[in-house]
Copies of this chain bind each other. A is one copy, B any other.
Amino acid sequence: MGCGGSKKPAQPKVYDPTPDPITGLTEKDREMIVDSWKIIGSRSAIKQNALEFFLMLFAAYPYVQNYFGIFKNKQLSELRTSPKMRVHAASVFYYINSYVENIEDTETFMGLAEKMAVAHIARGITVEEFEKVRIVYVKFLPTVLGNKCTPSLEAAWDKLLKTQNAVFIMLAEEGSSDGDGSGGAESGSG
């Protein structure tokens, strides 16, 4: 008003900088995760992206592949066309989808991370493997997102996966200290 003819640029969105007290994710982090997931987890691409992620993981850390009896000692080229590999990879990315869907609902997000941890601890998987997943996932982001991938986006996803892994460590320690390695989200005492 009173400035006829001058076009003001749209006001940049002001984000609440307060990190979530449990996940550490800020409003901007959460928005970046949700936006990037629209590409990574899009209905048409999620299964192929999931497969490429697992091939990257196994290429970087071949020992992780050997945790999967059915994938042990197989060539990556063989896994690329394996229906079992596609299904396992897809199921993991559908689980990440449930994280993203609950990025604003910390209680559910933490509960889902707990279920993921309990199921894997029961199979003898340790936080070392989950750390490999985190490291490779961050490297995988630019392969899908290209120039839409920024350091702050990588940092946001890293924070999410670090939170998941913190839950893992906590539960693994509880399991080893109470001497009950039986696992099973439904048989827990919580």
In the complex the two chains form, is B107's CB within 8 Å of A68's CB?
no
Residues of the B chain whose Cβ atoms lie less than 8 Å from the Cβ of A143? none
Q: How far is the CB of A133 from chain B (nearest CB, A)?
A: 14
In the complex the two chains form, is A108's CB within 8 Å of B86's CB?
yes
In the complex the two chains form, is B123's CB within 8 Å of A70's CB?
no
Q: Find the B residue at minimum CB distance from A97.
A: B94
CA distance A186 to B102 in the complex (A): 27
In the complex the two chains form, is B108's CB within 8 Å of A47's CB?
yes
Q: How far is the CB of A98 from chain B (nearest CB, A)?
A: 4
CA distance A184 to B84 in the complex (A): 13
Binary flags per residue of A110-126, CB closer than 8 Å to B gives 1, else 0: 01101100010001000
Within 8 A of B (CB), among A51-90: 67-71, 83-84, 86-88, 90
Q: How far is the CB of A122 from chain B (nearest CB, A)?
A: 9
State which of B68, B112, B187 has its C-beta within 8 Å of the C-beta of A91.
B112
A108 in contact with B88 given A69-B189, A123-B186 (CB within 8 Å):
no
Where the two chains meet, the residues of A that have a C-beta atom closer than 8 Å to any C-beta of B are 43, 46-47, 67-71, 83-84, 86-88, 90-91, 94-95, 97-98, 101-102, 105, 107-108, 111-112, 114-115, 119, 123, 184-190
